[in-house]
Amino acid sequence: MQNITFPKPLKKGSKIAIISPAGSVEIPQLDKTLRLIKSKGYEPVLGENLYTKYQNGYSYAGTEKQRINDVNWALNDPDISAVWASRGGYGCQHLLQDLKLTEFKKNPKWYIGYSDNTVIQSYLLRKGFASIHGQTVKTSSFGVTDQSYELIFDILKGKNLAYKINSNPSNRVGEASGILVGGNLALIYALLGTPYSFDFKDKILFIEDIGENFYALDRMIMSLELAGVFKKIKGLIVGGMTNMGKETENKEYEESYDSFTYQLIADRVSKYDFPTVFAFPNGHIYDNRPLIIGSEVKMKVDKKVRMEFH
């Protein structure tokens, strides 16, 4: 079994690096959360290219060199105690081949983010380090709950997570435990067959996504099927599936895309017997409660869903 290293709890005055590894951001988009970080007694330290913009078919937060320099600085600077991504978007895949963990290994720190940051979190877990799949510094257009941030600060203080949520009609009852892997489905799919893909053997898999047509969602789920992922995992957690299925031939599903999306996934995994949770509050949604990638999670799916992280 892989040994996973968890960073030490932060202390008052600890420095948190704020970086943009993928898409660009505007100053006003981060101000509220930067003030929140300060109010919790931590010192946000801004990456050199946090607000840089580089247009290359997409608005990146700097060139690949600029972004990798910021990420490697944040991960390896001994004065930094945690790394918080400003946002996702697209671009983290560019950085994987040049990530350095020389000093990070001596002083592991929490990496916080979701969406495109899934690939960095997969990289860290392959190296044996846990990370926080949670809200970025920038909030989404639909906002985020105060609790979504408060729970991240709880993790930074060293507290364990435990969730009790309502059941969903698509759930499959049962109990399972294993190390949590996953994140954004599009990035899990993009990493399949590469050295940076998650190891799915005996794991609990979490997936979430936004803005995918139903056929694209099905393609990604089928790729996991063909790669043998569902034969390997011990449990599946499906989070937010936002703005899915917008192709014109499926207009009838626009008002109920979540239930149709969940049913599509449930049908694809129906031949397996692992417990499955749908509508877990994490992803591109208002209630985006953090998960710990690399944590041992115990899940019990019945009339209520209970999860404990250790």
Answer whether residue 309 shows pLDDT above 50.
Answer: yes
- Measuring CA to CA, how many Å separate 74 from each of 9, 108, 129, 221, 293? 17, 11, 15, 34, 19
Per-residue pLDDT, averaged over 35-55, amounts to 98
Answer whether residue 170 shows pLDDT above 50.
Answer: yes
Answer whether residue 18 shows pLDDT above 60.
Answer: yes
Answer whether residue 268 shows pLDDT above 60.
Answer: yes
Percent of the chain with pLDDT over 70: 95
The reported pLDDT for the residue numbered 1 is 60
Answer whether residue 250 shows pLDDT above 70.
Answer: no
Per-residue pLDDT, averaged over 217-222, amounts to 97
Answer whether residue 249 shows pLDDT above 50.
Answer: no
Residue-wise pLDDT tens digits, 86-130: 999 999 999 999 999 999 999 999 999 999 999 999 999 999 999
Percent of the chain with pLDDT over 90: 90
The reported pLDDT for the residue numbered 251 is 46
Residue-wise pLDDT tens digits, 48-92: 999 999 999 999 999 999 999 999 999 999 999 999 999 999 999
Query: CATH number for the 15-157 domain, one of 3.40.50.2300, 3.40.50.10740, 3.40.50.300, 3.40.50.11540?
Result: 3.40.50.10740
Answer whether residue 256 shows pLDDT above 70.
Answer: no
Query: CATH number for the 161-309 domain, one of 3.50.30.60, 3.40.50.720, 3.30.365.10, 3.30.360.10?
Result: 3.50.30.60
The reported pLDDT for the residue numbered 141 is 80
Answer whether residue 230 shows pLDDT above 50.
Answer: yes
Answer whether residue 254 shows pLDDT above 60.
Answer: no
Average pLDDT, the chain: 94
Domain spans, the chain: 15-157, 161-309
The reported pLDDT for the residue numbered 259 is 79
The reported pLDDT for the residue numbered 31 is 97
